[in-house]
Amino acid sequence: MKELVFGHKNPDTDAIVAAKAYAFLQNALGNEVEAVALGTPNEETKFVLEHFEEPAPRVIEKAAPEVEAVMLVDHNEEQQSVADIADVTVTHVVDHHRIANFATAAPLYYHAEPVGCTSTIIYGEFVQNNVEIPDKLAGLMLSAIISDTLLFKSPTTTAKDEAAAKALAKIANVDFEAYGLEMLKAGTNLASKTEEELITADAKSFDMGGKTVRVDQVNTVDLDEVFAREAALREAIEKQSAAEGYDLFLLMVTNILDSNTRLLVVGEPKEMVEKAFEKELVADKVDLPGVVSRKKQIVPQLEAAFNA
């Protein structure tokens, strides 16, 4: 019976690549699995797919019209998944995030590790199952690890991520440092993006203390270039929050060159942000030196503030 595998909504490079990699592995193991996506690739992912001459996966809005069962990669939370996730059976999850808002009626295969990237975990499954990784797929998986770890600068990076990346770079015959910097810079080309696209491209929703908290991350090489559009960004956030029911919206603007983030905070309760980072907001903004990871340096701190 055919299954679909996909990453989270507003997919990043790992969400797209992990689905492709896991579909390849599952098919090699004798299953019928197709990789799909819950959104179109962002600029960085487009660069990766074009570099390795790989087509983008088709985009779906619902899974149940096509299949009875699905596999999830790079997420598990219901609000980050396909719209009709409750109408299908989840048979597999491979993820590196917290487990929340997730339940199944039947047993399943669940592989989670506290590493920097889902593709790192999937690389381990290729090795474990003695399945050879084609050079093109190795390049894609390397790209996902570079993306999620910001070329190993993120505090989410582990020794497993670095070892997997180096092994994949060897298979793909890629100078991962030179390629990685070029790839990350490709994702910071923001001039052609509308404010709506900027606040949506890498956004995830979280339930905290009964509030819906939205956290979007934009990578750049120039914070001032992004904040020159602050008024328009704020207007777009307020409009989207009203339409979608977000209580608190954090826009993380991260400089990938010096590993610093500036937050723009819209909505309430703003005091939770000040409590989480022990800093006062000035005009709804705060600088967070050394902060680059939503998963490790933003979400847990906010959750702790809401739950205190």
Core vs surface per residue 186-206: b (16+ CB within 10 A) or e: bbbebeebebeebbbbbbbbb
Q: Do the beta carbons of residue 108 and residue 41 sit within 8 Å?
A: no
Angle between the N-to-C axes of helices 135-149 and 176-186, in degrees from 0 to 180, rounded to the nearest 10: 60
202 marked ligand binding residue: no
CA 134 to mean position of chain CA atoms: 24
Q: Do the beta carbons of residue 32 and residue 2 sit within 8 Å?
A: yes
Q: How far apart are CA 4 and CA 6, in angstroms?
A: 7
Residue 171 φ/ψ, nearest 5 degrees: -65, -45
14 marked ligand binding residue: yes
Q: Do the beta carbons of residue 2 and residue 68 sit within 8 Å?
A: no
Half-sphere exposure in the Cβ direction for 55 (13 Å, CA)? 5
96 marked ligand binding residue: yes
| Residues annotated in a binding site | 8, 12, 14, 74, 96, 148
| Residues annotated in a binding site for Mn(2+) | 8, 12, 14, 74, 96, 148
